[in-house]
Amino acid sequence: MKPLLRWIVLVGLAILALQLFFVLRIAAMAAFNPQSTAFERSEAWRLATQKPSFRWRQQWRDYPDISNNLKRAVIASEDDGFVSHQGVDWGALEKAWKKNAQVEARSARKAALDTGKGQPATRPPKVVGGSTITQQLAKNLFLSGERTLLRKGQEMVLTLVLEALLSKQRILEIYLNSVEWGEGVFGAEAAAQHYFRKSASQLSPWEAARLAAMLPRPKHFEKLPQSAYLSERANTLVTRMPNAELP
């Protein structure tokens, strides 16, 4: 039992050391801008190996230098309770879980019918996340994109630490400067320049809404600039933006 106990202690200490590392990294972000995120590094490596000539686009912009239109559009699209929750929107998570269960059940019934008719299998159903801006930032900063309970648990811990050590304004500032808006396009400034040839501080309400509408699938919508869904979603967000509360 002693060797087993020793390994359990060592694993426990390693986990504690990792959490301390995360806490120190997040605490430093109160004063220093992060140079990159885990997701950005993963994408940079992928592009470097698959498309060596690809140009990376990212430029930091401080909170006041990002259009309030974009801030409101992103909050309206991704997390309308951002300023009021403590990092996790339990109501949104519950709705997402119920919706996913219903979609998966319908997909399973359709797959069974298709198999009986000799038709090819249908695509897996789209999973609705229900993650807040803080949760998305926690994942992008430190974690991989795999969907496991262990990764989700770590995401929850990091979310609570982010909310405890950083202001809502700082969380939104880091998020807007690091979120993906296309292949090799990261942050509000790069997105504004890439799609509208202007600074992030000059985005109109509709331009901001269109960028926010891309966020769940930026690389997909980058290839479909005339998407009817994108335009309809942007128009919907424009009507919701006045009600979006800024930190």
202: DSSP letter: G
What one-character-per-residue DSSP string does 29-95 give?
TTTS--S--HHHHHHHHHHHHH-TTPPPB-----GGGS-HHHHHHHHHHH-TTTTTSSS--HHHHHH
Sign of the C-alpha dihedral, residues 59, 133, 212, 224? positive
pLDDT at position 125: 42
Per-residue pLDDT 10s for the chain (247 aa) are 678 788 888 888 899 999 999 999 999 999 999 999 999 999 999 998 998 888 898 999 999 999 999 999 999 999 999 999 988 876 666 665 666 555 566 665 665 565 665 655 555 444 445 689 999 999 999 997 777 888 888 999 999 999 999 999 999 999 999 999 999 999 999 999 999 999 999 999 999 999 999 998 999 999 998 899 999 999 999 999 999 999 9
Where along the chain do its domains lie? 90-129
Specify the pTM.
0.85
The pair of structure tokens assigned to 46 is 């992928």
Residues sharing a CB contact under 8 Å with residue 19, sequence separation 6 or more, in sequence order = 157
Mean pLDDT computed over every residue of the chain? 87
Q: Rounded to whole angstroms, what are the CA distances from 163 to 159, 172, 192, 231?
A: 6, 11, 28, 33
Q: How far apart are CA 20 and CA 91, in angstroms?
A: 30
pLDDT at position 8: 87
pLDDT at position 128: 45
